[in-house]
């Protein structure tokens, strides 16, 4: 779990740990330069079905923020005769290849390497390397899939590896006869450039990387419309993430871990815009852009896309780094370039080239007006409460009207719609239309969306911006700020976005949104449901069928266990859609009302109460800690 929470930052008195500051990692003499590995070139020599690979463990300098920036001193794998790299050398072989790996540990400390072995047994013996020794292992690449290998000084779990050995990881990919080879492989890692006196990671010095680099240093990928974009992701960081693609669905084709990879058959596949991504797991996804422009793929946990920590003499403590992001937001040199200047960590960008003569069509549109308001908060961290307000009728809403959450925007599939967003606050903002297949320019990512010659701007104070959208799909979506989200989204800038099917009528009695957000200005860790905790219970009728739209737009929660209980037991409901995309019929089965939900996911269910009573909604953290347990429905 991420240690950083609103509550940790809500405490104005310094804790002992912060008062004493962070201790330095023992310094290592300047060493070999570590290079980045974009996982395109397989390592080793493959001759007659046998791959020979010699690996070494090397202490090196990792210039993750650029050559002119200070370097981290970490351990990395090197292929013999080549520079050490992060991630480590890519082992990628056809199914059935014999793999012979020799590993040398020149350090004066032992290293344990896991993941080098055949997969069919379901268990792989660790390779233990005493100081100054070389060992080898030979195994068959016997099961198709995406796997990884990793080394550690002491940790027995990936989740315990945060410091100098945290980048000792490499991908092991086994290609079947039909595996496309035009894919890209991305490995996610985390590294802490320091620890607190109690030995725990210092989140003021946290770096989250994709193939060895944090945003905006991650690789930029360029594609054409209609390309099949295949990515394999490997999470060797110590944390769970919630990976989110803007503008498009991706199809999840496989999920796995170090030893197993489950290649989904068509009925098991799902379309998603956000996928939970626990530590030590892998995923294969494919997507195909049908609209051009700049698009981002990122972790939806706000602290994982906050501006990167600083290194060297400019190092900041956790509090120095994050408190201003909650209090004031990141001060970009140019707010119109927020995505590039005000974000970091787990984010990568793609550019989809427009075909020659590309012109978006310009039909007549239904018009809506949405206001971003803010008022002084009655107390608390940021000092401002933010909120979206929709204009109803001819009069603009009052400047001091702020409600949590924002209004549920109801649009119709296929109906061209214009939403003009007015920013009446004192800071730049933008709106991201989460899960909606929208044009890049209107997607809400200032400085990256749109085209090089026409980038999406921030909506500056006093200014407005027109969003044009024609939703192609009915379903449950969200909208939220995409600037300074720790502060703006954490203080109320989010809402539900429902697209109705052709001919469908919005019935607020039977169609219910349950949107989770953070509690602004409270130094506890309790999410709010529809802006309140406890929420006002809703009355349901026995025998009536309801559609329940669950949406998670909390800040940093990838592992929330949701249960819907009567008398302590989950009721039965039927999942209908994930992220606004209808589930295939085989996945629409009556099941127990319990699921793990990540920030950035929406889930629709059908529920028909069969007896009177009170229904509780229960939320627990991944570690079981109770977050929320309230009566949300009374069935009569
Ligand atoms: Cu994350």
Q: What are the DSSP calls for 175-189, one per residue?
A: E-TT--SS-EEEEEE
CA 396 to ligand 1 center in whole angstroms = 38
CA 356 to ligand 1 center in whole angstroms = 37
Question: Is residue 633, in this structure, part of any structural domain at all?
Answer: yes
Q: How many CB atoms lie within 10 A of CB 425?
A: 21
CB burial readout 567-604, b (16+ within 10 A) else e = eeebbebbbbbbbbbebeeebeeeeebebebbbbbbbb
Match 């496989």 to its residue by tokens: 254
Instruction: Indicate whether 521 pLDDT > 70.
Output: no
CA 166 to ligand 1 center in whole angstroms = 16
Q: Which of 59, 62, 42 is nearest to 51 (CA)?
A: 42
Number of domains in the chain: 3
CA 622 to ligand 1 center in whole angstroms = 15
- Dist. CA 53–CA 80, nearest whole Å: 8
Instruction: Indicate whether 470 pLDDT > 60.
Output: yes
Residues with CB in 5 Å of ion ligand 1: 241, 299, 301, 304
Q: Categorize the per-residue pLDDT at 330 as very low, low, confident or very high, splitting at 50, 70 and 90.
A: confident
Q: Please answer whether residues 473 and 437 qualify as being in contact, where contact means their C-beta atoms are separated by less than 8 angstroms.
A: yes
CA 580 to ligand 1 center in whole angstroms = 22
Q: How many CB atoms lie within 10 A of CB 143?
A: 17
Is 160 found in the same domain as 82?
Answer: yes
CA 437 to ligand 1 center in whole angstroms = 23
Instruction: Indicate whether 523 pLDDT > 80.
Output: no
CA 151 to ligand 1 center in whole angstroms = 22
Is 497 found in the same domain as 546?
Answer: no
Instruction: Indicate whether 114 pLDDT > 50.
Output: yes
CA 317 to ligand 1 center in whole angstroms = 20
How many C-alpha atoms does 631 have within 13 Å on its Cβ side? 11
Looking at per-residue pLDDT, the higher value among 248 and 320 belongs to 248
Question: Is residue 308, in this structure, part of any structural domain at all?
Answer: no
Instruction: Indicate whether 154 pLDDT > 80.
Output: yes
Mean pLDDT of the chain: 91
Is 183 found in the same domain as 212?
Answer: yes
Q: Which of 292, 343, 336, 311 is nearest to 69 (CA)?
A: 311
> What does the block give as tokens for 129?
């390397």
pLDDT at 30: 57
Q: Please answer whether residues 249 and 580 qualify as being in contact, where contact means their C-beta atoms are separated by less than 8 angstroms.
A: no
Q: What is the pLDDT of residues 431-455, one digit of tens each?
A: 999 999 999 999 999 999 999 999 9
Is 549 found in the same domain as 407?
Answer: no
DSSP, collapsed to helix, strand or coil, labels residue 278 as coil
Q: Please answer whether residues 28 and 327 qualify as being in contact, where contact means their C-beta atoms are separated by less than 8 angstroms.
A: no
pLDDT at 522: 58
With 0-12 / 13-18 / 19 or more C-beta atoms within 10 angstroms meaning exposed / middle / buried, residue 29 is exposed
Is 170 found in the same domain as 222?
Answer: yes
Q: What is the pLDDT of residues 605-624, one digit of tens each?
A: 999 999 999 999 999 998 89
Comparing 52-56, 157-161, 517-521, which segment has the lowest mean pLDDT? 517-521
Question: Is residue 185, in this structure, part of any structural domain at all?
Answer: yes
Q: Categorize the per-residue pLDDT at 4 as very low, low, confident or very high, splitting at 50, 70 and 90.
A: very low
- Dist. CA 22–CA 343, nearest whole Å: 24
- Domain limits for position 523: 507-636
- Dist. CA 212–CA 77, nearest whole Å: 12
Q: What is the pLDDT of residues 192-231, one digit of tens each?
A: 998 999 999 999 999 999 999 999 999 999 999 999 999 9
The arithmetic mean of pLDDT across residues 42-69, rounded, is: 96
CA 299 to ligand 1 center in whole angstroms = 5
Comparing 221-235, 300-314, 427-441, 455-469, which segment has the lowest mean pLDDT? 300-314
CA 361 to ligand 1 center in whole angstroms = 36
Any idea what the CATH number is for the domain that residue 596 is in?
Answer: 2.60.40.420
Is 498 found in the same domain as 476?
Answer: yes
């Amino acid at each position: 779990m991420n240690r950083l929470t609103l509550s940790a930052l809500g405490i104005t008195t310094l804790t002992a740990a912060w008062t004493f500051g962070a201790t330095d990692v023992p310094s290592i003499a300047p060493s070999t330069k570590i290079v980045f590995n974009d996982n395109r070139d397989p390592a080793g020599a493959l001759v007659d079905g046998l791959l020979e690979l010699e690996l070494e463990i090397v202490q090196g300098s990792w210039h993750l923020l650029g050559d002119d920036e200070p370097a981290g001193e970490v351990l990395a794998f090197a292929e013999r005769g080549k520079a050490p790299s992060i991630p480590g050398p890519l082992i990628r072989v056809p199914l059935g290849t014999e793999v012979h790996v020799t590993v040398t540990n020149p350090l004066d400390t032992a290293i344990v390497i896991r993941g080098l072995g055949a997969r069919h047994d379901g268990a792989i013996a660790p390779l233990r390397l005493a100081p100054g020794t070389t060992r080898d292992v030979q195994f068959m690449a016997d099961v198709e899939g995406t796997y990884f290998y990793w080394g550690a000084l002491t940790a027995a779990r990936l989740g315990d590896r945060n410091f100098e050995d945290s980048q000792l990881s490499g991908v092991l990919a086994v290609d079947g006869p039909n595996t496309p080879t035009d894919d890209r492989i991305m490995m996610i890692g985390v590294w802490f450039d320091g620890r607190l006196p109690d030995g725990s990671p210092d989140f003021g010095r946290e770096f989250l990387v994709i193939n060895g680099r944090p945003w905006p240093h991650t690789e930029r990928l360029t594609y054409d419309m209609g390309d099949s974009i295949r990515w394999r992701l490997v999470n060797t960081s110590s944390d769970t993430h919630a990976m989110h693609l803007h503008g498009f669905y991706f199809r999840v084709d496989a999920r796995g871990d170090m030893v197993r990879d489950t290649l989904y058959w068509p009925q098991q596949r799902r379309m998603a815009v956000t996928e939970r991504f626990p530590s030590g797991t892998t995923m294969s996804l494919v997507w195909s852009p049908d609209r051009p422009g700049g698009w981002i793929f990122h972790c939806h946990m706000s602290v994982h896309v906050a501006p990167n920590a600083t290194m060297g003499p400019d190092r900041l403590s956790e509090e120095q780094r994050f408190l201003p992001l909650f209090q004031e937001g990141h001060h970009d040199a140019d707010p119109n370039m927020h995505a590039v200047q005000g974000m970091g960590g787990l984010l990568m960008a793609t550019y989809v080239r427009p075909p020659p003569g590309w012109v978006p069509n310009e039909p007549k549109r239904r018009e809506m007006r949405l206001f971003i308001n803010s008022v002084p908060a009655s107390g608390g961290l940021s000092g401002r409460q933010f909120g979206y307000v929709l204009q109803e009728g001819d009069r603009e809403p009052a400047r001091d009207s702020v409600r949590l959450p924002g209004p549920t925007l109801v649009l119709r599939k296929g109906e061209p719609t214009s939403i003009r967003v007015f920013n009446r606050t004192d800071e730049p903002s933008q709106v991201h239309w989460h899960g909606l297949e929208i044009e890049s320019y209107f997607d809400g990512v200032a400085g990256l969306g749109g085209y090089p010659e026409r980038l999406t701007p921030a909506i500056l104070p006093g200014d407005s911006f027109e969003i044009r959208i024609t939703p192609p799909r009915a379903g449950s979506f969200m909208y939220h700020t995409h600037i300074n989200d720790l502060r703006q989204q954490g203080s109320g800038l989010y809402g539900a976005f429902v697209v109705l099917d052709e001919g469908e009528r919005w019935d607020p009695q039977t169609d219910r949104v349950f949107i989770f957000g953070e509690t602004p200005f409270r130094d506890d860790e309790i999410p709010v449901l529809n802006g309140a905790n406890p929420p006002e219970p809703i009355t349901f009728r026995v025998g009536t069928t309801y559609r329940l739209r669950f949406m998670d737009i909390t800040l940093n929660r990838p592992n929330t266990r949701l249960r819907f209980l009567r008398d302590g037991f989950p009721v039965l409901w039927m999942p209908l859609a994930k992220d606004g995309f209808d589930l295939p019929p085989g996945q629409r089965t009556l099941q127990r009302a319990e699921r793990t939900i990540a920030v950035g996911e929406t889930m629709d269910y059908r529920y028909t109460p069969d007896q009177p009573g009170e229904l509780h909604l229960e939320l627990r953290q991944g570690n079981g800690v109770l977050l929320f347990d309230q009566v949300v429905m009374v069935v009569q």
